[in-house]
Each structure stands twice: as C-alpha cells, then as structure tokens.
C-alpha cells in the first residue's frame, strides 16, 4: 500500500489543528495531544529523488501531489548549474510534476543571487546552457574580471581557458564555485563535477574559493527565507549524505535520506546521521507521521 494512502488519517489530524475540519476526533486522537514539531515544509533534491537518469522515480509525482494537498510548503533545491530555475521547473512539469519556477533553487540561481549582493564590477561566468539565464544582468569580462565564477562549463574547460583563469586569479580576481561536488554519477559513469574544476583553480592559484550550492549554508538560508517557516518545521529530502544531509545538519534543519538515486552506503559512516532513512521517495509521507 503506498505511503500516501495509509497516511490519510494524519491529514485529518492536521486539518483539525488548522481548524479546517471538526469531525475527525475519532481518528487517531492520541496524535492530537502528542504532536511532535510538525513538518510544514519540505525541501526536495531533484536528481536521484524526483528523477534519476532521465526517468521519474517511482511514486515521486504522487508524493509531491499528496504533499501539496496537505498544504506542505515545497521547494526544490538542486546542485545543477546547467539548469536555470525555469528550465528545471519546465523539465519537471514535462515529467508530470506540479512544480512552479519560483519553487526551484538551482546552484546557478543561488550563485547569481550571491553575486548580485556583491555588486561586482565585472565577472567571468564559466557556465553554459540555460543556467546562464540567471547571469544575464552581469557584465561578462574575460580580460579583467573582478570575479571568476565556476559552474559546469564542460565545453570550455580546456588547457587554454583554465590557464587564462589561473593567471587572472593570480592577478587578483576572486573565485566563486557554484557548488563543491567533485564528481557526478547521476548519469551512471562518474564525471568531473564543478567542485573539481574550481578546486583545481583554487589550489593552483593559492587562494580560497567561496562555494554556494549544497552543502553550503548560504543556499539553505536562501531557500528557507522564501518558505516562511521555522527551521524546526522543515525537512530536507535527498539521496546524498555529503550534500543533502550534511548541508541540512549544518544549517539546522532535519533530513531524510533516500536509499536510491546516488545513495552510497559508504557515506553512512556514522559521522553524519540523517533523521529519517527511507527506501524511496514514495515513503516520504511517513516523515509527516
Ligand atoms: Mg541527488
């Protein structure tokens, strides 16, 4: 039986708490008096949680629909830099998810917000595809940028461009990494991820970069500010300890780790424990129990 079916009794209880229903006192009345901190918002990772290797994760669409019905505030937080908020939301909608552009936070969007706060004179944004939409307000300068901002610029990460970036950094440019993950295995075989390129420049130039995406507290703070909830009311749902669980813990929100997608048992070494361990996203409503 899917989780959202047997969790309906809980829905009645929540409605009662909100004063919207009065006739369910017979349903699980003990919950009414012993309610722990209520989960009112959830932040979902995208890759490995809602979709994986181009396919929708079983039960994900239904789970999101049910959470919406219950009035749970939803956000979708991905370390993708290639996608913009618009393209990420659009991709999810095409797969059947009810997702709005404004609910999505990509690492590229979060980095653009951070950069806007810095009011840079100029920057070199190393990124391609739709993620670049987030940076359209910025003056791109490959000759004398104040900031070099590294995202997934796979077609440009070659000897000439990386050496050019290295020299600019040694001449005073500052370095921002859109996220710090070293590898990406979401397509099966491991691939170099943004953190590898930014980390290489960081070491070669002898400086410290600022990283924005998960597990950085910046991106959790940015996400939370739009939810109108307290940290104690929110759960991060992800498939990786090193980004989703670590980031959530560091920021002070609870986390639910899914044992699918990019889940790697070796990451569960006892150093960071999720609050919930779920077999699949279809079980996510159990977090509300
Ligand atoms: Mg993931």
Decide if 64 contacts 74 (C-beta within 8 A). yes
User: For residue 141, how far is its CA from the centre of ligand 1 (angstroms)?
Assistant: 33
User: For residue 168, how far is its CA from the centre of ligand 1 (angstroms)?
Assistant: 33
Using DSSP's 3-state secondary structure scheme, residue 235 falls into: strand
User: For residue 224, how far is its CA from the centre of ligand 1 (angstroms)?
Assistant: 19
Express each pLDDT in 66-113 by its tens digit: 999 999 999 999 999 999 999 999 999 999 999 999 999 999 999 999
pLDDT-flagged residues of the chain (< 70): 1-36
Decide if 105 contacts 223 (C-beta within 8 A). yes
User: For residue 186, how far is its CA from the centre of ligand 1 (angstroms)?
Assistant: 8
Whether the domain at 40-79+215-288 and the domain at 108-211 fall into the same CATH topology: yes
Which residues, 6+ apart, have CB-to-CB distance to 23 below 8 Å? none
For residue 36, what pLDDT is reported? 61
Residue 29 to residue 26: CA distance in whole angstroms: 6
User: For residue 49, how far is its CA from the centre of ligand 1 (angstroms)?
Assistant: 6
User: For residue 184, how far is its CA from the centre of ligand 1 (angstroms)?
Assistant: 9
Q: What is the DSSP letter of 243?
A: I
pTM of the model: 0.87
**pLDDT more than 70, % of the chain:** 88
According to CATH, what is the number of the domain 108-211? 3.40.50.1000
- Gap between the terminal Cα atoms of the chain: 16
Q: What is the widest separation between alpha-carbon atoms in the chain?
A: 71
User: For residue 50, how far is its CA from the centre of ligand 1 (angstroms)?
Assistant: 9
Write down the domain spans for the chain: 40-79+215-288, 108-211
For residue 274, what pLDDT is reported? 96
For residue 186, what pLDDT is reported? 83
According to CATH, what is the number of the domain 40-79+215-288? 3.40.50.1000
């Amino acid at each position: 039986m899917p989780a959202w079916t047997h969790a309906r009794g809980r829905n009645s209880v929540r409605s009662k708490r909100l004063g919207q229903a009065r006739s369910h006192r017979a349903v699980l009345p003990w919950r009414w008096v012993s309610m722990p901190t209520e989960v009112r918002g959830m932040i979902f990772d995208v890759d490995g949680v809602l979709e994986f290797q181009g396919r929708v994760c079983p039960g994900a669409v239904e789970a999101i629909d049910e959470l919406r019905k219950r009035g749970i505030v939803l956000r979708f937080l991905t370390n993708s830099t290639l996608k913009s908020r618009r393209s990420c939301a659009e991709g999810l909608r095409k797969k059947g998810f009810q997702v709005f552009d404004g609910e999505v936070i990509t690492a590229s969007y979060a980095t653009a917000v951070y950069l806007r706060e810095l009011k840079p004179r100029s920057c070199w944004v190393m990124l391609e595809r739709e993620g670049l939409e987030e940076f359209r307000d910025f003056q791109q300068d490959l000759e004398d940028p104040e900031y070099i901002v590294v995202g997934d610029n796979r077609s440009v990460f070659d000897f000439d461009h990386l050496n050019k970036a290295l020299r600019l950094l040694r001449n005073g440019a500052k370095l921002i990494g859109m996220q710090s993950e070293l590898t990406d295995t979401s397509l099966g075989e491991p691939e170099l991820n943004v953190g590898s390129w930014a980390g290489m420049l960081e070491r070669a130039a002898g400086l410290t970069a600022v990283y924005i995406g998960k597990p950085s507290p910046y991106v959790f703070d940015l996400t939370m500010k739009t939810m109108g909830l307290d940290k104690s009311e929110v759960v991060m749902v992800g498939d990786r300890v090193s980004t989703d669980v670590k980031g959530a813990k560091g920021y002070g929100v609870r986390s639910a780790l899914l044992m699918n997608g990019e889940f790697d048992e070796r990451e569960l070494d006892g150093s960071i424990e999720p609050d919930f361990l779920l077999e699949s996203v279809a079980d996510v409503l159990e977090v509300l129990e």
